[in-house]
Structure 1
Amino acid sequence: MKSDMASLANADLMAVMQRAALEAGHLIMQFYENGCEITMKADASPVSEADHAAERVILRHLRAFLPEVPVVAEEEMAAGNGPLAIDTRFFLVDPLDGTKEFVLRNGDFTVNIALIEHGVPVAGVVYAPASGKLYCGSPAGAQQYHVQQDRLTDEVVLRVRACGEQKTAVASRSHNSPETDDYLLTQNISSCLTVGSSLKFCLLAAGQADVYPRFSRTMEWDTAAGDAVLRAAGGSTETIDGKPLTYGKRNRVDDCDFANPYFIAYGAR
Structure 2
Amino acid sequence: MRPDPAELLDDVKTIAYQAGEAIMAIYNEGDFDLYQKDDESPVTSADYAANEVLTEGLQKLTPSIPILSEESCEFSFTERKTWQAYWLLDPMDGTQEFVSRSGDFAVNIALVVEGEPVLGVIYWPTQGTWYYAIKQQGAFKQVGQNIESIHVTKYSRKDFTTADLRLAVSRVQKSNTVGQYLVDAEQHQKVALGSCSLKSCMIAEGGADFYLRVGPTGEWDTGASHCILREAGGNILDSEFNALSYNQRETLANPDFIVIGDRKVDWKKVIIPHKTQRTL
Query: Structure 1 length as normaliser, TM-score?
Result: 0.87
Tell whether 2:263 aligns with 1:265. Answer: no
1:194 and 1:185 map into 2 onto residues whose CA distance is 20
- The one-letter code of the counterpart of 1:138 is I
- The one-letter code of the counterpart of 1:57 is V
2:216 and 2:191 map into 1 onto residues whose CA distance is 19
Q: The residue matched to 1:237 in structure 2 has which SS? A: strand
- Answer yes or no: is the 8 Å Cα contact 1:179–1:215 preserved in 2: yes
- Answer yes or no: is the 8 Å Cα contact 1:161–1:267 preserved in 2: yes
| TM-fit CA distance, 1:195 | 1.7
**After superposition, what is the alpha-carbon deviation per residue over 1:77-102, rounded to whole angstroms, capped at 9, x for unaligned?**
2xx46894242321110111111100
| TM-fit CA distance, 1:109 | 0.3
Q: The residue matched to 1:96 in structure 2 has which SS? A: strand
Which of these residues, 66, 71, 80, is aligned with residue 70 of structure 1? 66
Counterpart of 2:146?
A: 154
Tell whether 2:15 aligns with 1:20. Answer: yes
| TM-fit CA distance, 1:265 | 1.2
Matches within 5 A, 1:1-269: 7-34=2-29, 35-77=31-73, 80=74, 84-86=79-81, 87-139=83-135, 140-147=137-144, 153-163=145-155, 164-165=160-161, 166-176=164-174, 178-186=176-184, 189-197=187-195, 198-251=197-250, 257-269=251-263
- Answer yes or no: is the 8 Å Cα contact 1:73–1:82 preserved in 2: no
* Percentage of matched positions with identical amino acids: 36
Q: The residue matched to 1:159 in structure 2 has which SS? A: coil
Q: Does the C-alpha gap of structure 1 residues 175 and 116 become closer, same or farther in structure 2, counting only changes over 3 Å?
A: farther
Q: The residue matched to 1:114 in structure 2 has which SS? A: strand
Figure out how many residues of one structure are paired with residues of the other and give that number. Answer: 252
Q: The residue matched to 2:243 in structure 1 has which SS? A: coil
- The one-letter code of the counterpart of 2:7 is D
List alignment gaps of at least 5 residues for structure 2.
264-280
User: CA-atom RMSD, angstroms?
Assistant: 2.0
- Answer yes or no: is the 8 Å Cα contact 1:27–1:54 preserved in 2: yes
**After superposition, what is the alpha-carbon deviation per residue over 1:123-181, rounded to whole angstroms, capped at 9, x for unaligned?**
1111110111110011211110113xxxxx11010111113421001123334563411
Instruction: Identify the range of structure 1 (229-238 vs 171-180) with the bigger mean alpha-carbon deviation.
Output: 171-180
1:220 and 1:48 map into 2 onto residues whose CA distance is 20
2:186 and 2:113 map into 1 onto residues whose CA distance is 35
1:176 and 1:92 map into 2 onto residues whose CA distance is 29
Counterpart of 1:254?
A: none
Q: Larger strand proportion, structure 1 or 2? A: 1
1:176 and 1:249 map into 2 onto residues whose CA distance is 31
1:82 and 1:93 map into 2 onto residues whose CA distance is 17
| TM-fit CA distance, 1:188 | 7.5
1:68 and 1:201 map into 2 onto residues whose CA distance is 30
| TM-fit CA distance, 1:33 | 0.5
- The one-letter code of the counterpart of 1:201 is S
| TM-fit CA distance, 1:183 | 2.7
| TM-fit CA distance, 1:186 | 2.4
- The one-letter code of the counterpart of 1:101 is E
List alignment gaps of at least 5 residues for structure 1.
148-152, 252-256
- The one-letter code of the counterpart of 1:134 is W
- Answer yes or no: is the 8 Å Cα contact 1:249–1:259 preserved in 2: no
Query: Structure 2 length as normaliser, TM-score?
Result: 0.84
